[in-house]
Amino acid sequence: RRRTTRERERERQTASMGGGNIGEGRQPVYGTMVPFGDPSWYRGHNSPYYRDTHHAWRAKIRAFCESEIMPYCKEWDDEKKLPDDLLRKCYEAQILPASCGGQWPTEYVGPGPADFDAFHELIMIDELSRCGSGGVMWGIMGGLAIGLPPVLQNASKYIKDKVAADCLNGSKRICLCITEPTHGSDVANLRTSAVKSKCGKFYVVNGEKKWITNGIMSDFFTVAVRTGGPGPQGISMVLIEKSMPGVKCRQMDCTGVWASGTTYITFDDVKVPVENLIGQEGHGFRYIMYNFNHERWMLIAQAVRFARVCLEESVKHAMRRKTFGKKLIEHPVIRLKIAEMARQVEATQAMLESLTYQMNTMSKEEQNLKLGGDTAMLKVQATKVYEYCARESQQILGGIAYTKGGLGEKVERLGREVRAYAIPGGSEEIMLDLSVRQAMKISKVLKSKM
């Protein structure tokens, strides 16, 4: 029998998705099968996003997380630092190079997974976030994922050669320094100054940076400074090294994300060679904005999985715990709570995958034009769902969710870390306002092209 045009098209689509023996968009069942414990494509739901290379990558990252990270999160949280050899292990597992924005840095680390794309990065973040620790997640990639991209995208070969390979292989660390004691979301008005010396060989940097992820353990700082007048046009970026005289770091005592090394940094007459200027003077604000969508997307991916961890822990507890002669899951009020969590988590997961697909199929320039508002709105959605699930899971688990360690360890820790996701990367109020302003702007642009 001759194949029809439709049949040939189906075969073509199957091949393009790496379908092989799983067919068009079909996904193999994977995971523990705890109800709602993993995204729907783990449960065999069809998806156009994931191929064989994603399945292999998922299994690799899960195995690494369960053997090298999950058993030690409480210990690292209590010590407020990660072990010295963990980043090297993360490099060998290809985790560090996968966290820099959807493009594999082949020049510095060699080839990565086959056909590496944004969904590989999403899987990496999602699977590692099963550990239920924002501190560990930020400790591994929080500084690298936002501090290195401005260097890779805009810096001179001299700076890239100094920084990139060592940071990607885990032997050195880098962090991003933007937020100041008086300026968070208001990036355009930051105060840290960089004044060129009379000899013209240095920028003399003075100022303070606050809530800097990985700062206490970093070797390099990607720093937003003011080299010109007021407003965004006066902002530049420089690479500062911790070994430079005048750099002082103090670890901050925060409510959560303890293992990430949140830091207060002071720059006191730090002489930075002009060769350490990243890109061009006055272009720093543009470099910062260029990477904000990716930073927020990473926070979204973590928050969605953290919400799911709270949901999964609730289901597991409800299936083993008995009250009044029957399991918790047999009480309608508990099933209602689980259903309310599940509907929000699954909907937000679908939004995240849709946004990731846009990232996968648009140029960086098109992403920054079209996705800023969508990303901002989804960040609010994800962190609100995370907050809701953290509270409801604490209600279901009861006292063990109020106790460090033991069966309620993940829920207790995640309950403390909600604000670390709702505020950094853009607070909810700023993000919602941005989403509407961007929608209005894009509407005008699209109407003009009709």
Q: Nearest-CA neighbor of 288 among 439, 423, 153?
A: 153
pLDDT category at 184 given cuts 50, 70, 90 is: confident
Query: What integer is the mean pLDDT of 37-55?
Result: 96
> What are the tokens at 312?
């999964």
pTM of the model: 0.92
pLDDT, residue 3, reads 56
pLDDT category at 186 given cuts 50, 70, 90 is: confident
pLDDT, residue 204, reads 98
Query: At residue 52, does pLDDT exceed 90?
Result: yes
Backbone φ, ψ for residue 427 (5° rounding):
-65, 165
Query: At residue 13, does pLDDT exceed 60?
Result: no
Query: What integer is the mean pLDDT of 52-67?
Result: 97
Query: At residue 19, does pLDDT exceed 80?
Result: no
pLDDT in tens, 417-436: 999 999 999 999 999 999 99
pLDDT, residue 8, reads 55
pLDDT, residue 101, reads 82
pLDDT category at 450 given cuts 50, 70, 90 is: confident
Query: What integer is the mean pLDDT of 30-43?
Result: 96
pLDDT, residue 7, reads 53
pLDDT in tens, 145-169: 999 999 999 999 999 999 999 999 9
> What are the tokens at 389?
């699930």
**Burial of 32 from C-beta contacts in 10 A (0-12 / 13-18 / 19+):** exposed
Query: At residue 21, does pLDDT exceed 50?
Result: no
Query: At residue 362, does pLDDT exceed 50?
Result: yes
> What are the tokens at 26?
């079909």
pLDDT in tens, 233-266: 999 999 999 999 999 999 999 999 999 999 999 9
Query: What integer is the mean pLDDT of 105-124?
Result: 95
Query: At residue 342, does pLDDT exceed 70?
Result: yes
pLDDT, residue 25, reads 82
Residues in CB range of 79: below 8 A, 6 or more apart: 259
| DSSP-derived secondary structure for 298-350 | HHHHHHHHHHHHHHHHHHHHHHH-EETTEEGGGSHHHHHHHHHHHHHHHHHHH
pLDDT category at 5 given cuts 50, 70, 90 is: low
pLDDT category at 185 given cuts 50, 70, 90 is: confident
